[in-house]
Amino acid sequence: MASDINYQDGPDFSRRDESPAEDEPIHSPGSPRQTEYERIGGRTGSSFLQTLIHLLKGNIGTGLLGLPLAVKNAGLVLGPLSLLAMGIVAVHCMNLLVRCAHHLSPFLSYGDAVEYGMENVSWLSRHSLWGRRVVNMFLNITQLGFCCVYFVFLSDNVKQVVETANGTTGNCHNNQTAVIVPSYDSRLYMLFFLPFIIVLVFIRNLKYLAPLSLVANISMCVSLVLIYYYCLTNIPYPINLPLAGRGVDYPLFFGTAIFAFEGIGVVLPLENKMQNPRNFTTVLYLGMGIVTTLYISLGTIGYIGFGEHIRGSITLNLPLCWLYQAVKLLYSFGIYITYALQFYVSAEILIPPAVARCGPRWALMVDLSIRVALVVLTCALAILIPELDLVISLVGSVSSSALALIIPPLLQIITFHNEDMKLWVMVKDIGISLIGFVGFVAGTSVVLKQFYLHSVCCFSLFLLIYIFK
């Protein structure tokens, strides 16, 4: 969800998908500094409760709505257990990042921490700048990947509302409508949203989005409450679902789950903004405990409620009555506003170097042109893979696994390797990174295979239509 920590002081990186990363000159470890998004505790910092709220808002987004399908891919028992294990490992990796950053220098971003850590290793120090660049690359992939997900989410949900508008009733106990009017392909809906999103990202100062962000947060919270209410009041009996899914589908579960748990980018900025950063560990464990509980509960009851018919977003399974049609539109509005917040991070990384190379006369034109190009790129990628579950799994497998599982344990090894690190700790760190790498390879390959099959089927269908037209 969108967050509103401080729109006046600079970019808002206080949500799970937003992490500051900017190309700066190399600094030696131990040299304290503070970038524009950081706040050094004190009276101006965030309180315990404020930080907890920001952490919760930063980890609850579209990934939550895709978890019922993830549980289907893993199984009714294996899925929740895997979510619990992944939540524990993800929180552990977040804590590792905080510990490493504290050891290296105060007020570091994720990329800075990796760069400083590599400077601790003689044979890596010459290439330490590439550590930050790799993190920035994965952050950009993650941010723009989330923007692709938002295009697909908006098109799927609005398309369903439009197609069922003529037959939508006030009866929410019957998940059917009298008349379903076929409309345009979901890709055309993406193109319809394209100019509106371009106009949205032209707002270069986030403080002007603060009122809309507040409304978006409220609308998404109301939507989630209604989704939980429907799922809890419509659990079928008896429950006859597989306890474990097919092995070939488990990588899809991994991609979706790590997509949801990829909140590590928000950890250091939130801790830097706390009035008392020593309490951040408590905030982290409490907040992520709540998040993990929400993930497991909605993933499980959503799968139980809709069974084998569960779709890429649980909103697409809700009854076609006015109440739950409004839920889809409310959540879609929240996602529309959130697009600008996700986009802002990549824009702040990619645009300033390009603007710096041109004169002041062309600065605004270059800025807006890059924004248009990035939005068009995310729309084009969404059009290429218009399946919400595949896009979520792909983004999770490619970038979220690297940021959340692979890099933090390796950072601990290079940060503390000269300080009598215990063998079991090193083995544990290597094991977590290997799990992340296996998930990265397996998840990406399975998604790309399904994308290939989807493309072949679509091409064959269009060919048959053309032949027999």
| CA–centroid distance for 323 within its chain | 27
pLDDT, position 77: 93
**How does DSSP assign 347-410, residue by residue?**
HHHHHHHHHHTS-HHHHHHHHHHHHHHHHHHHHHHHHHS--HHHHHHHHIIIIIHIIIIIHHHH
3-class SS at 46?
strand
pLDDT of 54 strictly over 70: yes
pLDDT tens-digit profile of 82-100? 999 999 999 999 999 999 9
Reduced DSSP (H G I as helix, E B as strand, rest coil) percent helix, strand, coil of the chain, to 5: 75, 0, 25
Tens digit of each residue's pLDDT (9 = 90 or more) over 98-114: 999 988 888 888 888 99
pLDDT tens digits along 271-330: 887 888 888 889 999 989 999 999 999 999 999 988 888 988 898 888 888 888 899 999
Q: How far apart are CA 74 and CA 251, in angstroms?
A: 9
**Tens digit of pLDDT for each residue in 396-445?**
888 889 999 999 999 999 999 888 888 899 999 999 999 999 999 988 88
The helices-and-strands tally (H runs, E runs) of the chain is: 18, 0
Q: Please, is 181 exposed, middle or buried when counting C-beta atoms within 10 Å of its C-beta (0-12, 13-18, 19+)?
A: exposed
The Cα 254–Cα 467 span in angstroms is: 40
Question: Which residues on adjacent β-strands are paired with residue 46?
Answer: 274
d(CA 369, CA 392): 27
For 124, the token pair is 């890596």
